[in-house]
Amino acid sequence: MGKNGLDGDKLTKAAVQGDWQEVKRLLVEEKVNPNAVNQYERTALQVMMMGSTMVAEELLKNGAEPNIQDIWGFTPAHDVARSGFLDTMKVLTKYEADVNIEDVLGCLPIHLAAQEGYLDLVQFLAPRSSILLKNSNGQTPLDLARAADRTEVVAWLEQLQATEVQTPH
């Protein structure tokens, strides 16, 4: 394993642990590339403790790629949407994370947030995303929320869709 791999392992280990100070030290003092990959070919932003906004901010501020996709097409925004961390999503979008990238199943982050029942994330993503986009199974975020019995999300998305249908663009 070359220096990039060792650096990637050190950086991803600190990120997984949510160790903001170590992440900052590695990026600033050791000049580790924020996009260095670990032995599993994953960057620190992809594996970070999702609720650690300070780690996300430090990585992104130092040039981490916010839209990197894994083999399933997941971006950090997909992971954060699935995990339910609104503050981390706000940091990602501040650094131009694209919330309209589809994973291999055609799901946007809003699909995952709706399916998991994270109303605050759905409300944040809705104006930035497509609530009507169907994934490869023909399901919208509302369909996924219904299937998972996420009643608050269902009610909110139904209300939003009713409003959008009545309001000509």
Report the topology of domain 1-65: 1.25.40
DSSP per residue, 101-119: ---TTS--HHHHHHHHT-H
Q: pLDDT by residue (tens digit) across 130-169?
A: 999 999 999 999 999 999 999 999 999 999 988 876 555 4
Q: Are 125 and 89 in contact (CB under 8 A)?
A: yes
Q: Are 101 and 75 in contact (CB under 8 A)?
A: yes
Distances 112 to 75, 96, 99 between C-alpha atoms, Å: 12, 19, 11
Please tell me the class of the 75-83+99-169 domain: mainly alpha
Handedness of CA 38, 42, 48, 49 (dihedral sign): negative
Domain with CATH 1.25.40.20 in the chain: 1-65, 75-83+99-169
Q: pLDDT by residue (tens digit) across 17-33?
A: 999 999 999 999 999 99
Q: pTM here? A: 0.91
